[in-house]
Amino acid sequence: MTPYQNSHICFDSVSAKELAEQYGTPLYVYEAGRIRENFQQLDHAFKKEWPNFQIYYAVKSNSNPAIVKLLMNEGAFCDCASLNEILLAQKLGAKGKEILFSGNYLSDEDLKAGMESKAYVNLDDASLLERLLKFGRPEVLSFRINPDIGKSNVHESDVMAGKQAKFGIPWEKAKEAYAKAKEAGITKFGVHMMTGSCVTEPEYFEEITKKLLDCVGPIARDLNIKFEFIDIGGGFGIPYLPDEKPLDIEKTAKKVCSIFKKKTKEFGLGDVQLVVEPGRYLVGDAGFIIGRVHAIKESYKKFVGTDVGMSVLARPVLYGAYHGIHVDKMTAHGEPTKTAHGEPTKTAHGEPVEPEKVTITGQACENADAWAKDRALPKCEVGDLIVVENAGAYGYVMSYPYNGRLRPAEVLVDGSTHKLIRRRETFEDWISGTIS
């Protein structure tokens, strides 16, 4: 996003105003260029250090087929959490090992479908092995390990390893799981962990990589088994708060690969493939929501009512997550009244544009829907457009049609072109499948 170009907020060279007029609001907008850049940055950073490296895109973070395809075209494989995500990846052309199936608490139906899909299956627990074997013997089998370290800069529910986590096999019990699989005749293995989402400290990724390798190294040696891949998960964070620092991906890759080199050598793991499965890092900052101000109320405090509410973007209400908000508006002096994160900006004459503290709310019949509290923003009027940042990951995928406020449309901007990649939900979509 360019905050202001030709006097309006722009995505690449397309203005928020033009998109809102053509497609309506609320509207999810993604910048293709940014997604490609994010992918290449991460890919290059790691490949430089360990060429046998593969990104599996976490489809759950944004499963719009146009976005998944865009990343596949860059070279991403797909990390899928469910049968439907596998079907989506297959529909887009992914096959076999290009799909990693990492579900949890799976049904027999899921396990069967996983086997039939020929995807790499990553089991969340040793108890699933026997059930999986009813449907055949996988050529390569992976287990998800809980290394007993977890972290998130968002919320405790984004911490996915450690004693409170529902995921993975406690690392102390991992050897038993691989021994069982070897006994069952499986000869090729992978290992996986996903310890937390949205971490911006490079040292953390080094620490978890070391812990995982210290777990699998002795297993490979003691059981005399071969690992095809070692998957250290996703979790690469992005800054949401105004003063948050971005993750230094170069430094992260250096640190991770340096310990990876040392430990693979120490345990004789050879040129094993290093896998990561990011979602947020690839698409998070490439997505935005354009909303419109529909009503303003001076109550005990000032509410700015927009069509971006908790059902359009669930993260603030679910996790107390912060998303930067811009108002697409100019001052009387022709300067943007942008306060990216609430700081007053100056007019052409150097006078500060005084922000006022308002609470941004959606239209749902829940007070939780007043989701951006006491933000300092330029004075809004009914009809103004707002733009919400960092909505590319866990945005649309977590939207829902509560109160009959239906899901938004999605648009992909690529340079000066834009196209609808999902139309707005209609009343017919909403009631389809219901029986009365």
Candidates 26, 147, 217, 235: give the one binding ligand LLP (CB under 6 A).
235
Candidates 114, 150, 202, 278: give the one binding ligand LLP (CB under 6 A).
278
Candidates 138, 233, 287, 355: give the one binding ligand LLP (CB under 6 A).
233
- CA distances (Å), origin 325, targets 89, 334, 372, 376, 405: 33, 20, 9, 10, 21
Q: What are phi and psi of 199, to 5 degrees?
A: -120, 135
Tell me which residue of 28, 10, 36 sits closest to 421, measured CA to CA: 28
Cis status, amide bond into 218, omega within 30 of 0: no
Candidates 15, 25, 54, 61: give the one binding ligand LLP (CB under 6 A).
61
Taking CB under 6 A as the criterion, which residues in 67-106 touch ligand LLP? 79, 102
287 part of the interface to ligand LLP, by CB under 6 A: no
C-alpha torsion 363→388→302→375, nearest 10: 150
Written as one string, the DSSP assignment of 144-163 is EEE-S----SS-GGGB-SST
Q: What does the alpha-carbon distance between residue 29 and residue 99 come to, in Å, rounded to a whole number?
A: 27
- The site map against ligand LLP for 376-405 (x = CB under 6 A) is -----------------xx-----------
Please say whether the dihedral angle defined by the alpha carbons of residues 373, 374, 380 and 385, taken in this order, is positive or negative: negative
- The site map against ligand LLP for 170-189 (x = CB under 6 A) is --------------------
197 part of the interface to ligand LLP, by CB under 6 A: yes
153 part of the interface to ligand LLP, by CB under 6 A: no
Q: What does the alpha-carbon distance between residue 94 and residue 346 come to, in Å, rounded to a whole number?
A: 50
Q: Is 365 a catalytic residue?
A: yes
Q: Which stretch binds ligand LLP (CB under 6 A): 14-22, 24-32, 278-286, 379-387?
A: 278-286
Q: What does the alpha-carbon distance between residue 238 and residue 161 come to, in Å, rounded to a whole number?
A: 20
217 part of the interface to ligand LLP, by CB under 6 A: no
32 part of the interface to ligand LLP, by CB under 6 A: no
Candidates 30, 77, 205, 236: give the one binding ligand LLP (CB under 6 A).
236
Q: Which of these is catalytic: 78, 198, 215, 365? A: 365
Q: What does the alpha-carbon distance between residue 178 and residue 269 come to, in Å, rounded to a whole number?
A: 15
Q: Which stretch binds ligand LLP (CB under 6 A): 55-63, 248-256, 324-332, 373-381?
A: 55-63
Residues that bind ligand LLP (CB under 6 A): 58, 60-61, 79, 102, 154, 158, 194, 197-198, 233-236, 277-281, 315, 319, 393-394
* Catalytic sites, residue numbers: 365
